[in-house]
Amino acid sequence: WQVTQAHVGQALLLGDEAIAKARKTLWSEFKLAVEPAAALGLAALQSGAYVPAPDEKVCLVLCGANFDPATLA
């Protein structure tokens, strides 16, 4: 928590539908099965909740450690 407070400048809230859409995109386009939290970055980009600056480079960290296959259907 201390690291987050010291280094995170902005937080976004996204709904379950945006996260589910991002997870489905990651699976259908790239065959990446990720946990819901890992899809948040893509969900923010897809939904327009986060719009990078024209020269900004975006990096998404993806993880499937808490992936449940039943939630991808």
Residue environment code for 28-50, b if the CB has 16+ CB neighbours within 10 A, otherwise e: eeeebbbbbebbbbbbbebbeee
Q: Which domain holds residue 43?
A: 13-71
Q: How confident is the model at residue 1 (pLDDT cuts 50, 70, 90)?
A: confident
* Burial of 72: CB neighbours in 10 Å, binned 0-12, 13-18, 19+: middle
In angstroms, the CA 19 to CA 40 distance is 6
Return the pLDDT at 23. 94
9-39 pLDDT, tens digit per residue, is: 888 999 999 999 999 999 999 999 999 999 9
Q: How many folded domains does the chain comprise?
A: 1
1 domain residue, yes or no: no
38 domain residue, yes or no: yes
8 domain residue, yes or no: no
6 domain residue, yes or no: no
Q: How confident is the model at residue 50 (pLDDT cuts 50, 70, 90)?
A: very high
